[in-house]
Chain A
């Protein structure tokens, strides 16, 4: 049973515009959420995270929004750059547990 869902398998965006990636979760025990970026044949690299006590966290071009009532989070990348082209995974866990549940990923392509 997929507890973290990324319903958009791919996203194409023009350089300089905003990329918005969405993620939904079903497990109400999750209270810590992370976004990872992954290139082919490489391990994921951490991008940004958010605790359930917040509804927004910003780090440079990356902002994560959390809507607990809707069990939904999103990652905004602005402005998008060609180097942002990668697969983005949403992940979630409870705050006292390392075990992560991953979404299926969204492939982002930034067009020049």
Chain B
């Protein structure tokens, strides 16, 4: 199947710093990527939809100024957690869509963020 690479897989940072997470589709072009967040033993919650060349669409309750999303190319989307705080500690997962609407979604391996 198609490969989506997510980096880093694990990061610890100090409160107040910013962290960037990258999501790359390695063998296909993805006009749409999604960012999810998962708390322990809970569901994956969609944070935002990232469209190449346009602004991301954020789900209700997600602070767009805190979670900056950039989708500069058809193979790369980045999520930057700005001024991270301990409550931002979570597992973040990206997914990339292959094909036009209704096509297959492929997930990255996730990033565990721990903010001290």
Contacts and interface: CB of A to CB of B under 8 A. Distances in A.
Interface of A: 2, 4, 9, 32, 36, 41-46, 89, 95-105
Given A41-B110, A44-B107, A105-B43, 18 more contacts: A32-B102, A41-B91, A42-B109, A43-B4, A43-B6, A44-B93, A45-B107, A46-B1, A89-B43, A98-B105, A99-B46, A100-B34, A100-B46, A100-B95, A100-B105, A101-B46, A102-B44, A105-B42
Nearest to B4: A43
B92 to A, nearest CB: 10
B75 interface: no
Contacts of A42: 109-110
Interface of B: 1, 4, 6, 9-10, 32, 34, 41-46, 49, 91, 93, 95, 97, 101-110, 112
Give the dominant DSSP class at B's interface. Answer: strand
A99 B102 contact: no
B23 to A, nearest CB: 10
Contacts of B9: 41
Contacts of B49: 98-99
A52 B103 CA distance: 16
B46 A43 contact: no
Contacts of B93: 43-44
Contacts of B109: 42-43
18 contacts: A41-B112, A42-B109, A42-B110, A43-B93, A43-B95, A43-B107, A43-B109, A43-B110, A44-B44, A98-B105, A100-B34, A100-B105, A102-B43, A102-B44, A102-B45, A104-B41, A104-B42, A105-B42
Contacts of B102: 32, 95-98
B97 to A, nearest CB: 5
Contacts of A97: 101-102
